[in-house]
Amino acid sequence: MQTTQCPVCSSDIIIEEESSEKDLVNCLNCGTELEIVTLHPILLSPLQEESEKESDND
């Protein structure tokens, strides 16, 4: 098991041994979904959320 930092809030993220690239992990602190880009070294990329904060124009 490894840990890395959330790119959004910098809290610790636990990476399970069985995790692989392209897997998704959730930051327990800010709830952001993060995609594992590479494992060596661990690089996380926040998923692009659609209409999370932007209001849809009707």
Q: Given the complex with Zn ion, which of 5 and 38 has the nearer CB atom?
A: 5
Does residue 27 touch Zn ion according to CB under 5 A?
A: yes
Q: Given the complex with Zn ion, which of 49 and 58 has the nearer CB atom?
A: 49
- Kindly indicate which of the ranges 1-9, 14-22, 35-43, 44-52 contains the residues binding Zn ion, using the contact rule CB under 5 A: 1-9
Q: What is the CA radius of gyration of the chain?
A: 13
Residue partners of 11: CB distance under 8 A and separation at least 6:
5, 27, 28, 29, 30
CB 36, CB 22: distance < 8 Å: yes
Binding residues (CB under 5 A) for Zn ion: these are 6, 8-9, 27, 29-30
